[in-house]
Homo-oligomer: A and B are copies of this chain.
Amino acid sequence: MKHYLSIDDIDSIPSWLSLAAECKKAPLKYRKLGEGKVLGLLFFNNSLRTRLSTQKAAFHLGMHCMTMNFGSEGWALEFEDGTIMDQGKAEHIKEAAQVVSQYCDVLGVRAFASLTDKEKDEAEMVLNGFKKYASIPILNMESATGHPLQAFADLITISEHSQKKNPKIVLSWAPHPKALPHAVANSFIKMMGQNPQFEFSITHPMGYELNQDLVQHIPVSYDQNKALKDADFVYVKNWSAYQPYGAVLNNDPHWMLTQDKLGQAKFMHCLPVRRNVVVEDRVLDGNNSLVIQQANNRTYAAQVALLKILESL
């Protein structure tokens, strides 16, 4: 039984990429694989792309979907062991995960970082709670510290649009009015960092250093202009500070990505994106934006992850 919790669960990137290409060409080819199987999708947070693309992927594989907004439709979950549950939480993850495992064959879970409790977020309290107590495979639909479906869709997109053997790819921080999680940035960094063919670097203002366990040997620059020079792909994303955890240190509009800064590079973003805050209209409306293709590839990323899970059952 295989999970898809992080990109570490991809056994072979080349074979996943070629499977994604195959699914994109013939989406219904594996429609018998999921027949009679139930995919439960549990949302602890809002979702547009993940919600619809994962259902679409399941549909391609012949699976039956049951979606549930856990917060508003179910019961508030307790994740701590040994608690006296006399407050707001009505159900413990131990029961919830075991119970749901009996109604589903695969379980998708979406649960963002709290950005207030670093320890719980790092421990992936919700995702790992389900992993620990469920008896079925778990599909990460964005967790506190990672978004592996997004990262795989991003990789598919880069592989489709790369015209060089060693493309230069830059992850650039951008301003945003709200504190956002690190999940997308984390998974993208892991995905890019493990491919030696990519010339990958990160740029962000001082203070926005990400988890150093992930960044490790990847070059980081505080000078956005220098970092973006001659880039082939610029991935823009806001994140809040990692230290102090979840803080919005500055919203310097000079970090917004402009067409001038982008030059001839391809523009990437996971969406939703705030126009003229994160990136200017000219970029999104220009020919070098890949954001719509990235979103389209979410379907095939989910389809490959589900397919690998189904094959492991």
B-contacting residues of A (Cβ < 8 Å)?
28, 36, 38, 40, 43, 46-49, 51-53, 55-56, 59, 64, 66, 68-69, 72-75, 78, 81-87, 89-92, 94-96, 98-100, 102-104, 177, 271-277, 281, 284-285, 291-292, 295-296, 299
Contacts and interface: CB of A to CB of B under 8 A. Distances in A.
A43 B94 CA distance: 25
B276 A85 contact: yes
B95 A68 contact: no
A118 to B, nearest CB: 24
A73 B46 contact: yes
A288 to B, nearest CB: 15
Contacts of A281: 81-82
A89 B274 CA distance: 8
A104 B52 contact: yes
Copies in the complex: 3
**8 shortest interchain CB distances as A-B pairs:** A91-B272, A85-B274, A52-B103, A99-B295, A102-B296, A48-B74, A84-B276, A90-B272
21 contacts: A38-B56, A43-B73, A46-B72, A47-B74, A48-B68, A48-B74, A48-B99, A51-B74, A52-B104, A55-B66, A69-B73, A84-B275, A84-B276, A85-B276, A86-B177, A86-B274, A89-B274, A92-B275, A95-B273, A95-B284, A95-B291
A292 B99 contact: yes
A53 to B, nearest CB: 6
A53 B36 CA distance: 15
A52 B49 CA distance: 23
A101 B66 CA distance: 22
A170 B94 CA distance: 25
Contacts of A72: 46, 69, 72
Residue from the set A52, A281, A296 with the largest chain B CB neighbour count within 10 Å? A52
B102 A292 contact: yes
B68 A40 contact: no
A148 B66 CA distance: 23
A271 B66 contact: no
A133 to B, nearest CB: 10
B85 A277 contact: yes
Nearest to A31: B36
Nearest to A75: B272
A73 B91 contact: no
Contacts of A284: 94-95
Contacts of A296: 99, 102
B68 A52 contact: yes
Contacts of A92: 272-273, 275
Contacts of A53: 103
